[in-house]
A and B are shown apart, each in its own frame.
Chain A
């Protein structure tokens, strides 16, 4: 009975914890499931996004509070004011610009088709006709696929995570993601995958904010920090550490 009471009190205290973040904290959402941008190892949140956001927050003189959730839930959290921005390789698109305001881009990348090693049938995006392709739900890559002129001939399967796995297992013929992390997964992880053809769409990624007075003020603050970090060479350093190349400049 005592433990039950203690548990109840503990949970109640958790539930009652103040949701309104401190003035000087920036609340950042990420999936924690997008190697090597945001991932977890031995309970520690790591990745390019974490390093960049830590540097940005330090530059702004703020604390960072990370909140992880499934990718498809992140924009819902941003819209509901549960987080201030998303650090998850969010690509700037017309659709999203209608709903959010974006910081300056801090990653320049391309969309990439990835296949199981030894798959001779697919050598680029035009070979996806009649194939089953995995993509992250709500991601820009899903939109890119759906906007292809022959989209109705592709069987698009949306996932919240683990698209690399299903491709390696041969359950789907290919997945579409950004070139940078796809290359990194192929290099470092035990999955039999390979890139198929060149990138088929250039993408620029930035931090989305709510299009409100507060959101725009925070965006300007983040922009100032990003350009300071760019001038210092910090962005380039972080990128080279993770990818061996600079993906933070066009």
Chain B
């Protein structure tokens, strides 16, 4: 049991904090794009749009059925080998692509479940008073589906923040990459990684707090 080098840890905090924005940017952009894609997939699946539906089923199956790291390597190292023009996919782009596709596959299923979970009688009621399909979605189904899907989606976002740590394998120096490099220069592994771990932890805790706030606001209409 060696002593911890506290001075080194304190010195590392500002350095690693400088990489937190990139980590958060990768995750936020991945999340926004994944949400858009997932909503599209969910609607395609619910309405069973021919051809698109089959495509979506295969897409979801592939991106849920393979490890994220394999997908990242496919985008970053694999595609440029087939089409040399695709060298324009740099590490950051490949990471965002990977996060978007991987997580949209998962999120599509939970959004679909939330939509299908709204009782069918409500759809019938809305249509019987002359609402269009769009109105039905906007006014009746989505507000309720959002509330149901929110905790799951938040979980995926938290997962995504942690998944950005794989970006280092594509040469993107984010929080994990910066930590790994500092550690292999100083050989003070425990100190370096515990600082990084605490940073991830604090970010996720802040998000959890945000989530419970959002949930209580969404639940207001339903509390009796």
Contacts and interface: CB of A to CB of B under 8 A. Distances in A.
A43 interface: yes
**Quick one: which of B84, B177, B185 has the most chain A CB within 10 A?**
B185
A10 B185 contact: no
Contact of A161 (B18, B184, B186): B184
B92 interface: yes
A41 B185 contact: yes
A236 B192 CA distance: 34
B92 A68 contact: no
A76 B90 CA distance: 12
B32 A68 contact: no
B4 to A, nearest CB: 12
Contact of B92 (A7, A15, A162): A15
**Quick one: which of B181, B183, B186 has the most chain A CB within 10 A?**
B181
**Quick one: which of B26, B91, B171 has the most chain A CB within 10 A?**
B171
Contact of A15 (B84, B90, B183, B186): B90
A14 B92 contact: yes
B155 interface: no
B90 A73 contact: no
Interface in A1-40: 4, 7-8, 10-12, 14-15, 19, 29, 32-35, 39-40
Interface in A136-165: 161-162, 164-165
B171 A40 contact: no
Nearest to B168: A70
A120 to B, nearest CB: 24
Contacts of A79: 81
Contact of A11 (B18, B25, B183): B25
Interface in B70-86: 77, 80-81, 84
Contact of B184 (A7, A29, A162): A162
A42 B195 CA distance: 14
A68 B96 contact: no
Contact of A7 (B12, B25, B177, B189): B25
Interface in A77-129: 77, 79-82
A37 to B, nearest CB: 11
Contacts of B87: 19, 80-82
Interface residues of A, number: 39
A77 B73 CA distance: 12
B173 interface: yes
**Quick one: which of A29, A40, A76, A79 has the most chain B CB within 10 A?**
A40
A82 B92 CA distance: 13
Interface in B35-53: none
A40 B29 contact: no
B172 to A, nearest CB: 8
Interface in B59-103: 77, 80-81, 84, 87-88, 90-93, 96
B48 to A, nearest CB: 32
Contacts of B169: 69-70, 73
B163 interface: no
A233 interface: no
B90 A4 contact: no
Nearest to B97: A15
A190 interface: yes
Contacts of B91: 69
Interface string A54-86: 000000000000011110010011011110000
Given A39-B185, A69-B171, 8 more contacts: A15-B96, A33-B184, A43-B15, A43-B178, A68-B181, A79-B81, A82-B87, A82-B171
23 contacts: A8-B28, A11-B26, A11-B29, A11-B96, A19-B87, A32-B181, A39-B184, A39-B185, A40-B185, A41-B182, A41-B186, A42-B182, A43-B18, A43-B178, A68-B177, A68-B181, A70-B169, A73-B170, A82-B87, A162-B183, A189-B186, A190-B187, A190-B188
Interface of A: 4, 7-8, 10-12, 14-15, 19, 29, 32-35, 39-43, 46, 67-70, 73, 76-77, 79-82, 161-162, 164-165, 185, 189-191
